[in-house]
Structure 1
Amino acid sequence: MPPTRTTGGQPPQPPRSPAPAARRSGRRGPRRYTRRDVAVLGVLLGVPILLDVFVIWGPTLASVVLSFTSWDGIGDTTWVGTENYENLFTNYPVFWPAVRHNLLWLAFLGLVATPFGLLLAVLIDRGVRFSRFYQSTFYLPVVLSLAVVGFIAQLVLSRDQGALNAIVGNEQNPTDWLGDPDLNLWMVLLAAAWRHTGYVMILYLAGLKAVDPTLKEAAAIDGAGEAQTFFRVVLPTLRPVNVLVAVITVIEALRAFDVVYAVNKGRNGLELLSVLVTDNIVGEASRIGFGSAIAVVLLLFSLGFVVTFLGREIRGEKNR
């Protein structure tokens, strides 16, 4: 090694290593995607986007346009402006009962089925005996479609051969649970809530499993009871689950169709907006423009509830 020179009494300096320069020269620039990468990304992103556009947004925009026309699906399309909406609000007697039934459906699922599902989740999370059995039993209806739930409701609530009349001893003077317009909606709501409760229970149970146990321990040290700990510590941490459950509840309530159509095709006290859409678009009359107007009203109802709720949640999150 050659001697290191000294200047002005300074200690000798070791020779500079060329490693930094080598590292600088070895830096990689931005990655360049090959044609194969672009093709893969195009397929993975493009196919779902195209399906979403053609299956969801395309028919949605088509329904909005068709709601201002008169069309039977075969002949020419005639532009009628807001005539379909005027007839819907003033000259269609089953429209307002259907709106009332949908709102009642939403209130029942939101105020009865959802809190009951939360209660079941809390009880199972506390580790009661046979919790696995209860969890599987209450979740079982979720794997069934609402059409199957409707058929089960017919077997249980039928007037002549239903199990409920046989259990309560009304065989001599049976109650028409599904034929009486004052009763059938409540019976169908119970059947729909039976399925919705299990779904809500699983969502809240997953959220409760993710709650940090130290939060509960800290609340207990501060002297909080079980109820105070739940409502002031645990429930606020379940805010994302609450948002998800609220959105699902609104969607389930406003798109309800299968169970009432399986019972009596959505008539005689079971009218819903989704049933009116089906009756007008694929029914004998085939009034596609009029049915599209009902579908747009249903869409606005759904968006109104969901956007309002999510807006309040977002503003509340920002204010924290």
Structure 2
Amino acid sequence: MTDATTARPATASETRTPSSAAGELASRAPSKRQRRRHRVRRLTKRDKIVLALMLGIPTLVELALVWGPAVATVFLSFTNAASASPVKNVGTQNYHYLRTIDPEFWPAVRHNIIWLLVFAIIATPLGMFFAVLLDRGIRGSRVYQSVFFLPVMLSLALIGIIWNVVFNSDFGVVNGFLHDTHLHSPVSWYGPDHDLTAVLIEASWRQAGYVMVLYLAGLKAVDPALREAAALDGANAWQTFWQVVFPVLRPINIVIVVVTVIESLRAFDLVYITNGGTNGLELLSAEITQLIVGPANLVGRGSALGVVLLVISLVPISFFLVQQFRKEKNG
């Protein structure tokens, strides 16, 4: 009597011989070439020398040109170092002099604060406005971007020369216009009453282009789906930017805040080119130069002022680093 069920034919896997199974396992095993490819390459003596040079030389340069002078400045700020006297420890006398006696310290602090406010209220919003317009893809945006960014590529000395043609009391463009139109008598733009205003216009012209480039890079990285979703929800262009796009630009905003504070504190070139940082243009950086390089050569007092400027500069830098570390921890 035959079996009711039909016998199922054996599959290829069931009919494999031990030798064929071993061959299949050997084919699945990584080849010698693949094992060699994934093997970690050990550093040779030459590689270690090259790495040591690549890391050591920049580190030595950084220590010699940045941290060495910074530490020396801190030590000199507690001495009476000058051109014609032996170096002696005077404690905090230099800091006391700056706070209570120096007639240019507090005007310099006030002018640096004004510099910061102008950058924060005028230059930065202007740069953001330029970036938003260029991000919308207006006609000739490449040309406008080059025009706005041109001051950033120029040296501050050249910017001072260019604006001297504009604000010069004798042959300046502005005074020529005022004279021809009889709107106002010629103004001494580089005099003690208006020199800070003139130099702030020059500095803002450059700072706005710098901020524009940073914001433009951030806007290009914003996901277009966010704008599309906001448009579907009925948001207009103003609401889309401030409620959707601007919060996404938080990392760029932190960078711009730090850059704005640092740029306002280290402002020096335009001021020194204009009148050497005197007669209404006193700034902390210019006063440091006057104390150390000036006729009095008061290295100790200039170093104390340099330490004050260093401590103030560390505040935005520390804020930026804290934000970055917090972002990496949460990310």
Partner of residue 154, structure 1 = 164
Partner of residue 205, structure 1 = 216
Partner of residue 275, structure 2 = 264
1:161 deviation in Å? 1.8
Partners of 2:132 and 2:30 lie apart in 1 by 62
1:188 deviation in Å? 0.8
Identity of aligned residues (%): 50
Q: Deviations over 1:134-166 (max 9, x none)?
A: 111111111112222222222211222211110
State yes or no: 1:298 paired with 2:309.
yes
Partner of residue 59, structure 1 = 69
Structure 1 counterpart of 2:149, one-letter code: Y
Is the deviation greater in 87-96 or in 212-221?
A: 212-221
Partners of 1:91 and 1:162 lie apart in 2 by 38
Secondary structure of 1:79 counterpart: coil
Partner of residue 236, structure 2 = 225
Partner of residue 10, structure 2 = none
Partners of 1:220 and 1:319 lie apart in 2 by 30
Which of 100, 109, 114 pairs up with 2:110? 100
8 Å Cα contact 1:250-1:306 kept in structure 2: no
State yes or no: 1:114 paired with 2:124.
yes
1:305 deviation in Å? 3.1
Which of 103, 117, 128 pairs up with 2:138? 128
Q: Mind listing any 5+ residue stretches in structure 2 that lack a counterpart? A: 1-13
1:110 deviation in Å? 1.5
Q: How does 1:145-294 map to 2 (within 5 A)?
A: 145-169=155-179, 173-181=185-193, 183-294=194-305
1:29 deviation in Å? 5.5
Structure 2 counterpart of 1:55, one-letter code: L
When residues 163 and 11 of structure 1 are mapped into structure 2, their CA distance, relative to the original with a 3 A threshold, is closer
When residues 220 and 82 of structure 1 are mapped into structure 2, their CA distance, relative to the original with a 3 A threshold, is same
When residues 287 and 226 of structure 1 are mapped into structure 2, their CA distance, relative to the original with a 3 A threshold, is same
Partners of 1:217 and 1:21 lie apart in 2 by 49
4+ residue runs over 4 A deviation: 10-13, 20-23, 25-30, 312-320
State yes or no: 1:37 paired with 2:41.
no
Structure 1 counterpart of 2:44, one-letter code: T
Partner of residue 6, structure 1 = none
Partners of 2:241 and 2:185 lie apart in 1 by 47
Is the deviation greater in 257-266 or in 42-51?
A: 42-51
Is the deviation greater in 260-269 or in 45-54?
A: 45-54
8 Å Cα contact 1:243-1:310 kept in structure 2: no
Partners of 1:114 and 1:180 lie apart in 2 by 26
1:184 deviation in Å? 1.6
Structure 1 vs Structure 2 CA RMSD: 2.6
1:308 deviation in Å? 3.5
Q: Deviations over 1:18-42 (max 9, x none)?
A: 734977x957664321011111111
Which of 81, 97, 105 pairs up with 1:71? 81
1:231 deviation in Å? 1.2
Partners of 2:224 and 2:30 lie apart in 1 by 52
When residues 134 and 22 of structure 1 are mapped into structure 2, their CA distance, relative to the original with a 3 A threshold, is closer
State yes or no: 1:88 paired with 2:98.
yes
Q: Deviations over 1:220-273 (max 9, x none)?
A: 112222111111221122222212222211111100000011111111110000
Partner of residue 142, structure 1 = 152
Partners of 1:40 and 1:73 lie apart in 2 by 44
Partner of residue 47, structure 1 = 57
Secondary structure of 1:127 counterpart: coil
Secondary structure of 2:82 counterpart: coil
Is the deviation greater in 152-161 or in 207-216?
A: 152-161
When residues 119 and 26 of structure 1 are mapped into structure 2, their CA distance, relative to the original with a 3 A threshold, is closer
Structure 2 counterpart of 1:145, one-letter code: S
TM-score by length of 2: 0.86
8 Å Cα contact 1:101-1:272 kept in structure 2: yes
State yes or no: 1:307 paired with 2:318.
yes
When residues 304 and 12 of structure 1 are mapped into structure 2, their CA distance, relative to the original with a 3 A threshold, is closer
8 Å Cα contact 2:199-2:270 kept in structure 1: yes
Larger radius of gyration: 2
8 Å Cα contact 1:151-1:263 kept in structure 2: no
Structure 2 counterpart of 1:296, one-letter code: V
Partners of 1:49 and 1:232 lie apart in 2 by 44
1:58 deviation in Å? 0.9
Partners of 1:226 and 1:312 lie apart in 2 by 29
Q: Deviations over 1:86-111 (max 9, x none)?
A: 01100101100000100110111112
Partners of 1:248 and 1:177 lie apart in 2 by 28
